[in-house]
Amino acid sequence: MKSLTILVPILGLVLVFSSWFGPVVAQSSKINTLYKDSKRPINVRIKSLLGQMTLKEKIGQMAQLDNLRATPEIMRDYSIGSLLSGSGFGIPNLNFSSSPQDWVDMVNEYQKGSLSSRLGIPMLYSIDSIHGNNNLYRATIFPHNMGIGATRDRDLVKKIGSATAIETRAAGIPFAFSPCIAVCRDPRWGRCYESFGEDPEIVEEMTDIIFGLQGDIPLHGRKGVPFIGGKDKVVACAKHYVGDGGTTDGINMNDTVIDWHGLLSIHMPGYDHSIIKGVSTIMISFSSWNGEKMHVHQDLITRFLKDTLKFRGFVISDYHGVDRITDPWSSNYANSLQRVVNAGIDMMMAPHNASEFLEIMTSYVMNKSIPMSRIDDAVKRVLRIKFSMGLFENPLADYSLVDQVGTQGHRDLSREAVRKSLVLLKNGKDAHKPLLPLPKKTSKILVAGSHANNLGLQCAGWTITWQGLSSNNLTIGTTILSAISTAVDPETEIVYNRDPSVESLKGNNYSYAIVVVGEPPYAESAGDNSNLTIPEPGLSTMINVCKSIKCIVVLISGRPLVVEPYLPLMEALVAAWLPRSEGHGVADVLFGDYGFTGKLPITWFKRVDQLPMNFGDEHYDPLFPLGFGLTTKPTGAI
């Protein structure tokens, strides 16, 4: 009797353990491979696989590890759902000039680890392809979203999405953290250039990029159901849900103070449209809404996004988003994780390590602080995307698209995007005597400014590295100076002087000067800026040249900057945004091969103390209003 008394509680513990972790003999029992049958309906495959997964395997699918913290063995042992390469960090062999083949090989090594796990669930590799595959050397780098918003061209943005998908897949990566559908309501925000503009209608239109990234929904397909249309398409990610572009004083990760109607009418429409267009994933914002962190906002994530908008893909945190809901960061990681998961986030980006994540999550499930139903919902959503994209059938990347990186067709598309994005703000001191388009054949032209011959400044942040580089060697492309040199008549003399002195400008008989100045590279919080002035030495260069010579100022920036005091000095002013790798697009329009067509996607303020100021505000008094943009006709200038 004594031995039986001891045995009963032991058997009870075994039964409890089994109920959470799956059958005790799961490792040796036969696996039902129905979930691998691509002819079966997705819901049947999900049910088959989910029913065979242990708790450990389910929790693993909810983790997205930074590849620097992963090995093939970790992928196998913890059944990790996803990996990411941080911009400028998770690169093959720590080599910025790694080839697409190098990327494919690296991704496949991790994938082979996942495929060797008990159930062989493939992982989903991800990266920030936010203006082309901007992490890949020699890739086509497209203008950032603010410039694309200036084009108002839905067909163009869809083509950009398609090219981006191909060049991302060429590196073996099937998941892109794009598009950013923030509505930038204050240009002081360091991520403003990642937004298509201040107008939610512009952002709505530009969500057509999802069709380019993921593919068109089939003729008889259902709207609102995540769809990925083949091996040359990627899983898209609408971000950052919700209100990230409306934070107080434009401070990144700050609080967005706005009522429910304002949130719905300004910041939410892009998500509604993205869901209708089949977006597969949505990333949560670091910011807060009226004091509550978005990462723990159950009403907005579960009740509104999932239940009301019927989003069927999976919700992912931002990078270390779990850590950042406390101040200081990570001060109570375990509690933060519980809150984030219960709020409705399905995949956690970059846990510190797999074992800690598993241990904390398991303890919460065991004590019922996180319901098993919440775990199953998250895993179903992750598996739905993996089945939808055919990842089980084609888990390993190949080299079939490596020759599509930086093709002439993609570069031509980027060049088209550049010229359509340019906004002409001023053209001649006398409206009846426009200066642009410029003559190609003249005696002598001065090209000046910090940004005229610097590809890194032209490409800015999120290019090869996170914060960008001031260098002509970061990738392949054409500077604006080089483009001007190609565009003009061979007999026209071009003098390049980055920062000419006042003395050097005297008596040189220049026909005109093109001054190219703007912001340094930045990304995220590093770009928060409360003064928005043109940085030195660019400002002094612009003033000195424009006081001495008839000048055209080409402003390279991710947002409007202070220009009002200097407008009288300029003959012409062009907002070129961040044109990236194809400087030829700027020269195409300056010299009249194409006309100026771009329209402001954001209000251009007079003074910083007016901010925030948006179209429709009661005291709207801009220098140039939303939608402004002078036009010219192509002339074939000579």
Active site residues: 318, 524
Pairing of strands 423-427, 572-577: antiparallel
Query: Which helix (DSSP H) or strand (DSSP E) does residue 101 occupy?
Result: helix 100-115
Beta bridge partners of 180: 239
Q: Which tokens go with 282?
A: 């949505």
Give the helix, strand, coil percentages of the chain, each rounded to 5.
40, 10, 50
The contacts of residue 602 (CB under 8 Å, 6+ apart) are: 146, 149, 184, 187, 192, 197, 198, 559, 560, 626
- Which residue carries 């012409």 as its tokens? 572
Distance CA 418, CA 140 (A): 12
Contact between 351 and 63 (Cβ < 8 Å)? yes
Contact between 386 and 121 (Cβ < 8 Å)? yes
- Which residue carries 């708790």 as its tokens? 55
Distance CA 91, CA 112 (A): 18
Output the CA torsion sign for 263, 347, 191, 526: positive
DSSP one-letter code for 512: E
User: In 306-400, which ranges are E strands?
Assistant: 314-316, 348-349
- Which residue carries 């002081």 as its tokens? 188
Distance CA 439, CA 94 (A): 46
The CA-atom distances, in angstroms, between 487 and each of 298, 438, 491, 589 are 56, 11, 12, 10
Output the CA torsion sign for 145, 185, 449, 439: positive
Amino acid at 217: I
